[in-house]
Chain A
Amino acid sequence: MKALTFKRGVHPPDSKEYTNKKQIKILMPEEGSDIVVPMSQHIGAPCEPIVSKGDRVLLGQKIAESGAFVSSPIHSSVSGVVKEIKQVLTPGGAMSKAIIITNDGKFEEDPSLGKDTDYESFSREKIIEKVKNAGIVGLGGAGFPTHIKLNPGPEKKIDAIIVNAAECEPYLTTDHRVLLEKTDRVIKGLEIVLKLHPNARGYIAVENNKMDAIELLTQASKKISNISVVTLQKKYPQGSEKQMIYAVTKREVPSGKLPADVGCIVDNVDTILAIERAVVKDRPLMRRIVTLSGGAVKNPGNYQVRLGMSFRELIEMTGGFKEEPAKVIAGGPMMGVAVYSLDVPLIKTSSAILCLTKEEAELPEESNCIRCGKCVGVCPMGLMPIELNGDVLANDFEAFEKNHGLDCIECGSCSYVCPAKRHLAQSIRVTKRAVMAMKKKK
């Protein structure tokens, strides 16, 4: 079958060979270590703690929630005592209120977990309630509360559920490993979502640099009539929601609209796995799978970690650094956030930690645009970054909006190809924020 894809895009080096053969290894936080749980780990209203200093909490116990519609509760990933509640630095660079729990190393479970597992008999409402109570958000990095995504309202005719396993960011290999090691559970998770949308077809969309996973999935889903495995071309940003929907269904999500408006729901592989665990095993989101890679770490690999462990703890448990890293990135190299401290917690949206050496982290100097047009040739949204960058430099917000600057998905393809090394994506992102803030004020 011909590999599907979207228009334009770039081909950064894969860099997945460091970790794509490494089995997922489970790391448990050590006794006495602090687990840091920020109240804002998702898009939407931050949670409020429902425990206080000195309380003993159990594994899987809900410790924070919010009454707001767009929000998602948070659970303890260890058992232990609440040490304090204070402001901490998050991987995104912002400060957030957080609950600090001292891990007692016993992993004593909340007794209510794992009881309600007769999932075949669950109603639609109950499944969505389960996903909501399990604190599941988009684990691909966006962090949008999954229960809202799964329930777009009766007026939206959903006919495609897409499991996003493109994993187009260089270095990242967790989706690949999950597909290989937990194939049946991914399919089970997709079946549960399909139960919510009986008229929809399920697609597991994988880039063709993971042919072993595609074969395995095809075998495993052979007998299921409403699930297909879709082979996508290896190209960045194939995993971007809009580009993914286009590749699989040839539908374009209109500007300012959501996937549900074109009948699609897209969820990351790890999110689907979390749904399966919440519904089948009745367990909330307490862990995630992280790729640790980059030239500076001693043992790159895929690690299943407890949420709230710090970057430092994870790196030290895996053997530490080979050499001093020059740059540490939370997420992939195209869209991840550079952090300035290792003392930040792993949160629901932390898909990877990349520790780059000085050579890998080298930043080229910006020079004059030579009008080569490469940015126009790669923009997956059909924008003209060269023109938007000009609008930014001229401080012309009106022209920026007229040239569709707000449609930018911030994938960074334009900056990646630019031979003059202009900070195109950065300038567009900053201006996008400014324009949106101005609109809000009005």
Chain B
Amino acid sequence: MDNSKFIVSSTPHIRSKDSTSSIMRDVIIALTPAALMGIWAFGLSALLVIAISIASCVFFEAGFQKVTKQKITVCDLSAVVTGLLLAMNLPASSPFWMPIVGGFFAIVVAKQLFGGIGQNFINPALAARAFLLASYPTDMTAFTQPAGLNSFMEIFGVNTPVVDATSYATPLAVVKSSGAFAPQSGDILNALFGNVGGCIGETCAIALILGGLYLLFRKVISWRIPFTYIATVFILTWAFGRVPYYEIFIGGLMLGAFFMATDYSSSPVTPIGQIIMGIGCGILTSIIRVYGGYPEGVSYSILIMNLAVPLIDRYTKPKIFGGGKAK
């Protein structure tokens, strides 16, 4: 027996099965129901946007790493997640170049220029969405009718008139323009199943909640950010005179709370910090929705809170067992 063959390494000698790629794979699995609902509702153009977005994100990540002579890490699937999330934040009617420009901004500007995975201080997909919204406001708000769901919704007795318009109003725009909007049961069902105008992946609340529950079950995320975020929006919109049980299912809240605000790199690592993050996002979202110029505030709320993360982490360190040594 040749002794020198033994591996010698530091403790611990066993590691958990979770890895970066297994976590990213779980996020992809969790996003799939909402993405499929988006494709069903908005048609093949939605599928095309998703495909182009994922492909360009992976391409830009690999390309940037190749050019800068780094190890190519697209196999960790994080670029796929960014691409998928970006597509879910775009309207189905986006021109083909939009996810490409967005993918470049998300991967190269927001992620790689700051050091790659784990180093981006803002959510790359949301940064790209904000960039596109500021640069191409018309294209970014040209929502189409989710015509694919019309016959499905008839099962519930919800009849949707077919509208021949270039821009289909989102529920939040309707709420904003109507002053005091009283949703009917049909409106709530439409919001739950995604028979409303909006970005590809944000419309079907049920699919997003299912995906979120899967992430909670798999312990990829904790309840802290999504629960406090949604609860804060519920309470504040109610206080501001909106209809809270409608408000939480419309717009990008479910997508934002479960999938965007929980982005590891740009959210706090401390448990108390995560609660502050959720509440902060909830406050900003509610204020923007009710008092802001935009009908929706999820993306900007999360981006603003992203900037506060280093500060939050710094002031919410856990209590040391035994009090720590006096300094």
Residues of A within 8 A of B (CB): 7, 10, 12-13, 170, 242, 246, 252-257, 324-329, 333-343, 354, 356, 360-361, 363-364, 367-374, 376-377, 379-384, 386, 402, 404, 406-407, 410, 412, 415-421, 423, 425-426, 429
Known: A364-B19, A420-B20. A410 touches B11 (CB 8 A): yes
B6–A404 contact, CB under 8 A? no
Which residues, 275 to 323 on B, are CB-close (under 8 Å) to A? Answer: 317-323
In the assembly, what is the distance between CA of A423 and CA of B11, in Å? 9
A356–B23 contact, CB under 8 A? no
Known: A334-B11, A368-B118, A376-B269. A383 touches B320 (CB 8 A): yes
- A53 CB to nearest B CB, Å: 27
Other A-B pairs, 13, CB within 8 Å; known A328-B6, A417-B18 = A170-B14, A255-B320, A255-B324, A326-B7, A329-B13, A333-B13, A333-B14, A371-B118, A371-B264, A415-B15, A416-B14, A419-B18, A419-B19
Of A364, A373, A379, which contacts B268 at CB under 8 A? A373
In the assembly, what is the distance between CA of A420 and CA of B116, in Å? 14
Query: Does B117 make an interface contact (CB < 8 A)?
Result: yes
* Across-interface contacts of B5 in A (CB, < 8 A): 324, 326
Which A-B residue pairs are the 10 nearest by beta carbons? A373-B269, A412-B12, A426-B10, A382-B318, A333-B13, A255-B322, A419-B18, A327-B7, A381-B321, A338-B8
> Can you give 19 contacting A-B residue pairs, CB < 8 Å?
A255-B324, A255-B325, A324-B1, A333-B13, A335-B11, A360-B14, A367-B73, A368-B118, A374-B18, A376-B269, A376-B270, A384-B318, A386-B269, A416-B14, A416-B16, A417-B18, A419-B16, A423-B10, A426-B11
Closest to A12 in B: B14
* Across-interface contacts of B19 in A (CB, < 8 A): 364, 419-421
B3–A342 contact, CB under 8 A? yes
Residues of B within 8 A of A (CB): 1, 3-16, 18-20, 22-23, 73, 76, 78, 116-119, 222, 264-265, 267-271, 274, 317-325, 327
B264–A373 contact, CB under 8 A? yes
- B118 CB to nearest A CB, Å: 5
* Across-interface contacts of A356 in B (CB, < 8 A): 13
Closest to A429 in B: B10
In the assembly, what is the distance between CA of A412 and CA of B12, in Å? 5
Known: A256-B325, A336-B11. A384 touches B16 (CB 8 A): no
- B318 CB to nearest A CB, Å: 4
* Across-interface contacts of B118 in A (CB, < 8 A): 368-371, 420
* Across-interface contacts of A406 in B (CB, < 8 A): 325
A404–B116 contact, CB under 8 A? no
In the assembly, what is the distance between CA of A253 and CA of B274, in Å? 28
Closest to A361 in B: B7
In the assembly, what is the distance between CA of A7 and CA of B318, in Å? 12
Known: A170-B14, A417-B18. A338 touches B9 (CB 8 A): yes
* Across-interface contacts of A339 in B (CB, < 8 A): 6, 8
B324–A404 contact, CB under 8 A? yes
Closest to B317 in A: A384
A343–B320 contact, CB under 8 A? no
A-B contact count (CB 8 A): 167
* Across-interface contacts of A372 in B (CB, < 8 A): 23, 264, 269
- B7 CB to nearest A CB, Å: 4
- A281 CB to nearest B CB, Å: 36
Of B1, B116, B119, B323, which contacts A254 at CB under 8 A? B323
A370–B20 contact, CB under 8 A? yes
Known: A340-B3, A381-B321. A334 touches B20 (CB 8 A): no
B14–A340 contact, CB under 8 A? no
Known: A257-B322, A384-B270, A407-B321. A416 touches B265 (CB 8 A): no
- A418 CB to nearest B CB, Å: 8
In the assembly, what is the distance between CA of A426 and CA of B20, in Å? 20
* Across-interface contacts of B117 in A (CB, < 8 A): 368, 370
* Across-interface contacts of A337 in B (CB, < 8 A): 11
In the assembly, what is the distance between CA of A370 and CA of B327, in Å? 31
Known: A338-B7, A373-B268. A364 touches B323 (CB 8 A): no
- A168 CB to nearest B CB, Å: 12
* Across-interface contacts of B73 in A (CB, < 8 A): 367-368
- A247 CB to nearest B CB, Å: 12
Of A242, A343, A402, which contacts B321 at CB under 8 A? A242
A382–B321 contact, CB under 8 A? yes
* Across-interface contacts of B8 in A (CB, < 8 A): 327, 338-340
In the assembly, what is the distance between CA of A257 and CA of B3, in Å? 41
In the assembly, what is the distance between CA of A255 and CA of B322, in Å? 5
In the assembly, what is the distance between CA of A407 and CA of B5, in Å? 35
In the assembly, what is the distance between CA of A379 and CA of B12, in Å? 14
* Across-interface contacts of B319 in A (CB, < 8 A): 382
* Across-interface contacts of B269 in A (CB, < 8 A): 371-373, 376, 384, 386
- A303 CB to nearest B CB, Å: 20
In the assembly, what is the distance between CA of A35 and CA of B9, in Å? 27
* Across-interface contacts of A429 in B (CB, < 8 A): 10
In the assembly, what is the distance between CA of A246 and CA of B253, in Å? 41
- B312 CB to nearest A CB, Å: 12
* Across-interface contacts of A340 in B (CB, < 8 A): 3-4, 6, 8
- B48 CB to nearest A CB, Å: 30
* Across-interface contacts of B318 in A (CB, < 8 A): 376, 379, 382-384
B6–A325 contact, CB under 8 A? yes
In the assembly, what is the distance between CA of A257 and CA of B325, in Å? 10
Closest to A414 in B: B12
Of A7, A253, A368, A371, which contacts B322 at CB under 8 A? A253
* Across-interface contacts of B270 in A (CB, < 8 A): 373, 376, 384
- B1 CB to nearest A CB, Å: 7
- B326 CB to nearest A CB, Å: 8
* Across-interface contacts of A170 in B (CB, < 8 A): 14
